[in-house]
A and B are shown apart, each in its own frame.
Chain A
Amino acid sequence: MTERVGIVGIPPRSVITDLHRRRVLIFDLDEPQVRASLDLTASHLPRVYCAVLRTVVLNAMHLHLDCIYIDVGPGKCDCALHVSTILKNMLDIPIHCTRNQDMEGAGIPLCRTRMPLLAKMTGITAGVLEPEPEKGPAACRPTAGFWGVPPRDFSLLTLFPDTTHVYGWTRCMENKTPADLELESYVNPNVPTVFFAQSFCAKTALAKFLADQHPQGLYLDCDVTAGSSARAKIEAFFELSHSLFSEK
């Protein structure tokens, strides 16, 4: 029977390579994998907690996994470290904690190509399951930027133009260097950029800081779903930014 393995964050490439060699079925626990209420995690996690990590716990409760690899180092966050403790207590399967400090870049073609941002993000997150990067499409000239982590609610990505370049931790994901803080902090000051973080995530501090530094930056945080005010902020930001840019 095929082994079922969950991963949280970006485990080291050596781990992903090994999982491929063992031909296991890999589940990215950071993404919604089951149709169940996040409220079911309330007996394990506070309700006011990162929605991505609440999703991890929800997935782990339902997927009947054989083991989990959870990255808890500088490439993920302290919240994941504490969730690993909860998973160990909650499940009767091996929970392997990793500290991914890979620094060999795999490239960032998807982050810079012309493509609907939702498709781009789906491609980047799917790439986490692969040990080797695929040859990517050509880069385009950016007209907008998305900085941050893949949001819990991908629907907000539909509000961005196809020529959006991706920055922040998502860029580190595609590059397979999640602990590369220098790459994570890189921004393009010439394009209006939304600095996104999940509510209750430590990265909100970096997102807010970079947005304040950026000449055309919008800080945005969302919890489980992107509400109407978050969507309206993105719409207005690009509408006003682009018209102003074109006037100059």
Chain B
Amino acid sequence: MLLADFGTSYCKLLDTETDRAPEVIATRDLEVGFMADLATGHNAARRSKQSINELTALARGGEKIIGGKDFVLLDCGSRDIKFVRYAEGRVVDMGWNAECGASMGFTIELLAKYYDLDYGEIAVPDTGFSITCGVLGMSNIFDAVISGLSETEAVAKFVRGIARNAYRFAGSPERLYLSGGLCDNPLFVGSFPCNVISLGRFVLLAGLQASR
């Protein structure tokens, strides 16, 4: 069975009939006629025989990977952020922010390419910008650079602000399980003011596996 998590920037694919690890492919490189058997994500309804809601896939993936009864799982994507909170084995809260939390991952990746930055070499700053989304936060960077901050320092403050906003969106937990491509961004992960456990970018695929 071919499973797919169709993200805005990247698609994560898993063929359950092989031993191969999940594959990550840029969405723009996906073949026009590509079809999955079971999928989640923005294009799931159009590109699969059966689709599952992203929050459901996230929750099911969290249940499978984390296994505990009490946890907060936050998925930070290119275009949106979403979370589920479990207490005593039940979903007690969830959220999906495609507007005010928009374009976080996309903007963070875009900035690294534009300014030629390696997030693995940037220290977490002591303070960050107070921002709620990638688009609105861009002007903070430009203003900071104009006022004398280096581009690297300004972007670091931006990333910290984005992480803090996502943390508050998830309900400010003491321990946060993180899902999505931003798990590979040390600056982003290090900017959360709590214990972060990175689960990587295949949590929704695990949710699809659990839903089969």
Answer whether residue B209 sits at the interface, using C-beta atoms and an 8 A cutoff. no
Find chain B residues with CB under 8 A from A241 CB. 91
B96 — which chain A residues lie within 8 A by C-beta?
Answer: 229, 232-233
Q: What is the 8 Å Cβ interface bit string for chain B, positions 67-109, against chain A (1 contact, 0 not)?
A: 0000000000000100010000111111111110000000000
A228-B98, A229-B98 known; A239+B89 contact, CB < 8 A: no
Which residues of A have CB within 8 Å of B90? 216, 244
Q: Are A229 and B56 touching (Cβ within 8 A)? A: no
Pick the contact of A244: B80, B91, B94, B97 (CB < 8 A). Answer: B91
Closest chain B CB from A246 CB (angstroms):
12
CB of A235 to closest CB in B, whole Å: 5
- Mark A219-237 against chain B: 1 for CB-CB distance below 8 A, else 0: 0000000011100110111
Separation of A215 and B95 alpha carbons in the complex (Å):
16
Asked whether, in the complex, the Cβ of A227 is within 8 Å of the Cβ of B98, the reply is yes
For residue A218, CB closer than 8 A to chain B, the reply is: yes
Once bound together, how far apart are the Cα atoms of A228 and B8, in whole Å?
A: 14
How many chain B residues sit at the interface, stated as a range, is 10 to 19
Interface string of A115-127 (1 = CB under 8 A from B): 0000000000000
**A-B interface contact total, Cβ < 8 Å:** 45
Residue of B nearest to A241 (CB): B91
Instruction: Identify which of B54, B91, B92, B99 gathers the most chain A CB atoms within 10 Å of its CB.
Output: B91
Residue of B nearest to A231 (CB): B53
A218 touches B94 (CB 8 A): yes
- Contacts A228-B98, A241-B91; is A236 near B59 (CB within 8 Å)? yes
Pick the residue among B56, B95, B99 that contacts A239 (CB under 8 A).
B56
- Asked if residues A227 and B91 are in contact (CB atoms below 8 Å), the reply is no
Check if A236 sits within 8 Å of B98, measured CB to CB: no
Give A131 to B53 CA distance when docked, in angstroms: 43
B208 CB to nearest chain A CB (Å): 14
A244 to B86, CA, bound (A): 11
Task: Check if A235 sits within 8 Å of B56, measured CB to CB.
Answer: yes
Q: What residues on B are CB-neighbors of A216 within 8 Å?
A: 90, 92
Complex interface residues of chain B between 97 and 136 (CB less than 8 A to chain A): 97-99
- Which residues in window 133-163 of A have CB below 8 A to B? none
CB distance A233 to B55 under 8 Å?
A: yes
A237 touches B94 (CB 8 A): yes
Distance of A236 Cα from B84 Cα, bound (Å):
10
Nearest CB on B from A158, distance (A): 15
On chain A, the residues within 8 Å of B94 by CB distance are 218, 233, 236-237, 240
> With A239-B53, A239-B56, A240-B59 in contact, do A233 and B95 touch (Cβ < 8 Å)?
yes
> How long is the Cα–Cα vector from A216 to B84 in the complex, in angstroms?
13
The docked-state distance in angstroms from the alpha carbon of A232 to that of B54 is 8
Which residue of chain A is the closest to B42 with respect to CB atoms? Answer: A228
Closest chain B residue, CB of each to CB of A230: B96
In the complex, what's the smallest C-beta–C-beta distance from A248 to chain B, in angstroms?
A: 8
9 A-B pairs closest in CB distance: A236-B55, A229-B98, A229-B96, A240-B91, A236-B56, A236-B53, A235-B53, A244-B90, A232-B53
A and B contact pairs by CB, cutoff 8 A, 30 listed: A215-B92, A216-B90, A218-B94, A227-B98, A228-B98, A229-B98, A229-B99, A232-B53, A232-B54, A232-B96, A233-B55, A233-B95, A235-B53, A235-B55, A236-B53, A236-B54, A236-B56, A236-B94, A237-B91, A237-B94, A239-B56, A240-B55, A240-B59, A240-B84, A240-B91, A240-B94, A241-B91, A244-B89, A244-B90, A244-B91
Q: A216-B90, A236-B53, A240-B91 are in contact. List 19 more A-B contacts (CB 8 A).
A: A218-B93, A218-B94, A229-B80, A229-B96, A229-B98, A229-B99, A233-B55, A233-B94, A235-B53, A236-B55, A236-B59, A236-B94, A237-B94, A239-B56, A240-B56, A240-B84, A240-B94, A241-B91, A244-B91
